C-alpha cells in the first residue's frame, strides 16, 4: 500500500457499514482508521434495531402472561418496572459496543472518538488533527427527521425513546412507517394509551396491502388509535408538562409524550463534502455508482447516507463489497433485488419480493394464494387474532415472486421463505415439500 498518505482508508462513521468496511479492508492489508463522534456500533446497535427488538421482547410478556392462564399457569401479582428493562437493555447495548470496538482494535484499525470533516479529495480534519488518506469512505448513516412545525422541540425521536425516565400515560406517535408502528405496539403493551398520527391515508406504504390492513385491524382491537390525513400544525406545552398536539383534519390531541417517527434523513450536515466535489441528491443522500463510488473518485459511501435501502444488512453488504473491490482484488456489487424486510409490530409482519399490486402491474397475469388462520396457541389462549400468509405467483412461469405474512414469529418464518423466493422456486416446488405439523409455517406448503 502507498506511503504517500497517513492511511490507505479513512472511514467516517463506525456503524454497521463502516465497521464492516474498515475490518475487511484491514484484513486485506490496508492501513485503516475510523472516526466516530458518538458511539461505535451506529444506529442499529446503539439506538435502533437491537435495543428496539429487546423492547419488543419485553412488551410481548404482557400478552404471554395473560395467555398463560389458559394454559394452566397461575401468575399472580405480575407487575412491570420500565426502569429495569430500560437499564438492562442499555447495559446490553454497552456490551455490544465493547465487542464492536474490540473487533476494530483486533484488526488494527485506529479508532478516533471524534468528528471527522472532509477537507479535500484525500484529506480530513479529525478533531483538531489533519490527516490524509488514499480513499475516504463516508458511512455516517441517517437520523430521524423532525416535522417543521412550531413546538416540534417538545417531541422525542426513537433515539431518546430508549432513555425515558418513565412510561407516558398517553403518547402520540407521528408517522406511519415501521418505526412508528413498532413503538406503537411496544408502548401499548406497556399500558400507555397510544395514538398514531399519520400525514397520509395509510400505514406502512410499500408493504402488502392485505397484510398492513390486518395489522391495522389488530392494532385497533388492541386499543391503538389512528388519525389519518393529519399533518402536524403545532405542539403546545402546558405548565403541568403535558402537551397538546394540533393536527389538520381533526381535534387537537392531549398527551404526555410526543414521539416523531416521520422518516430518516442522511447525515451529511457539516461533513465538508462540497470541498471534494461530492454530489448529493434527494434529501441530501450521497450519489454513488454501483461500486459505491461518489462523484469524487477517491471518496466512497455506503449505508443509509446513500439512501438506497435503509437496512442494516444492506449497509453491511455494501461495506463488504467496497472492501473487496477496492482492497481485495475481488470486485463485487450488491444485488438489491428481493430484499426481505420485517416490521416488529404486535404481531410482527414480514415480506419479500413483489406485492400483489406490483406483480399485477409488472407481470400481468398472476395467481394469489392466501392462508387466513388462527394460530393454535391463539385458539387455546382465546385470543382472536388471525395470522395471514400470502404467496404471489407468476402465472406464466409458476415462480413464487412474493411472500408476505403477519402473525407470531412471521420474520423468523419469512427468512427461510426469502431464500426460496430469491432462488426462483415455483409454487409446485413449495407444494412438493412435506409440511411440519403442527406449525404455523406449514401453511406455506399447504396453499391450494
Phi and psi angles of residue 134, each rounded to the nearest 5 degrees, phi first: -65, -40
437 in catalytic set: yes
- The Cα–Cα gap between 119 and 129 comes to 12
Q: What is the DSSP string of 226-252?
A: EE-S--EEEEEE-TTS-EEEEETTS--
At 132, list the grid cell. Answer: 490524509
- The Cα–Cα gap between 226 and 229 comes to 10
3-state SS class at 396: coil
Residue 70 CA, chain-centre distance (Å), reads: 34
Could you say which of 107, 163, 246, 437 is catalytic? Answer: 437
CA angle 443/425/361 to nearest 5° reads: 90
Neighbour count for residue 395 (Cβ, 10 Å)? 13
Phi and psi angles of residue 42, each rounded to the nearest 5 degrees, phi first: 75, -170
- The Cα–Cα gap between 153 and 278 comes to 31
List the catalytic residues.
437
Amino acid at each position: 500500500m502507498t506511503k504517500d498518505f497517513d492511511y490507505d482508508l479513512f472511514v467516517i462513521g463506525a456503524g454497521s457499514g463502516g465497521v464492516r468496511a474498515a475490518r475487511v479492508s484491514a484484513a486485506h492489508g490496508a492501513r485503516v482508521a475510523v472516526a466516530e463522534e458518538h458511539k461505535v456500533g451506529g444506529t442499529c446497535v446503539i439506538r435502533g434495531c437491537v435495543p428496539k427488538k429487546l423492547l419488543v421482547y419485553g412488551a410481548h410478556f404482557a400478552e404471554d402472561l395473560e395467555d398463560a392462564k389458559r394454559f394452566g399457569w397461575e401468575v399472580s401479582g405480575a407487575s412491570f418496572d420500565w426502569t429495569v428493562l430500560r437499564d438492562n437493555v442499555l447495559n446490553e447495548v454497552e456490551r455490544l459496543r465493547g465487542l464492536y470496538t474490540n473487533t476494530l482494535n483486533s484488526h488494527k484499525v485506529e479508532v478516533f472518538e471524534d468528528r471527522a470533516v472532509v477537507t479535500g479529495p484525500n484529506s480530513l480534519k479529525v478533531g483538531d488533527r489533519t490527516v490524509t488518506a488514499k480513499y475516504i469512505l463516508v458511512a455516517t448513516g441517517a437520523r430521524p427527521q423532525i416535522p417543521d412545525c412550531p413546538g416540534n422541540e417538545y417531541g422525542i425521536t426513537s433515539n431518546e425513546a430508549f432513555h425515558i425516565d418513565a412510561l407516558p400515560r398517553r403518547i402520540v406517535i407521528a408517522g406511519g412507517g415501521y418505526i412508528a408502528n413498532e413503538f406503537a405496539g411496544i408502548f401499548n403493551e406497556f399500558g400507555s394509551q397510544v395514538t398514531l398520527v399519520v400525514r397520509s391515508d395509510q400505514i406502512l406504504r410499500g408493504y402488502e396491502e392485505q397484510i398492513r390492513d390486518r395489522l391495522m385491524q389488530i392494532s385497533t382491537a388492541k386499543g391503538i388509535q389512528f388519525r389519518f390525513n393529519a399533518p402536524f400544525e403545532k405542539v403546545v406545552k402546558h405548565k403541568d408538562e403535558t402537551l397538546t398536539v394540533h393536527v389538520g383534519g381533526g381535534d387537537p390531541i392531549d398527551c404526555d409524550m410526543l414521539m416523531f417517527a416521520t422518516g430518516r434523513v442522511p447525515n451529511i450536515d457539516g461533513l465538508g463534502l462540497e470541498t471534494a466535489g461530492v454530489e448529493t441528491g434527494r434529501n441530501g443522500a450521497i450519489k454513488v455508482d454501483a461500486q459505491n463510488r461518489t462523484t469524487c473518485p477517491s471518496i466512497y459511501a455506503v449505508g443509509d447516507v446513500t439512501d438506497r435501502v435503509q437496512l442494516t444488512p444492506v449497509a453491511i453488504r455494501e461495506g463488504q463489497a467496497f472492501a473487496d473491490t477496492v482492497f481485495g482484488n475481488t470486485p463485487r456489487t450488491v444485488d438489491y433485488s428481493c430484499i426481505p424486510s420485517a416490521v416488529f409490530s404486535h404481531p410482527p409482519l414480514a415480506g419479500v419480493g413483489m406485492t400483489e399490486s406490483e406483480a399485477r402491474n409488472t407481470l400481468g397475469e398472476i395467481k394469489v394464494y392466501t392462508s387466513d388462520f388462527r394460530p393454535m396457541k391463539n385458539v387455546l389462549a382465546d385470543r382472536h387474532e388471525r395470522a395471514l400468509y400470502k404467496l404471489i405467483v407468476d402465472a406464466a412461469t409458476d415462480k413464487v415472486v412474493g411472500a408476505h405474512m403477519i402473525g407470531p414469529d412471521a420474520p423468523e418464518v419469512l427468512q427461510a421463505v426469502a431464500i426460496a423466493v430469491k432462488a426462483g422456486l415455483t409454487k409446485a416446488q413449495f407444494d412438493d415439500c412435506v409440511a411440519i405439523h403442527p406449525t404455523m409455517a406449514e401453511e406455506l406448503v399447504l396453499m391450494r
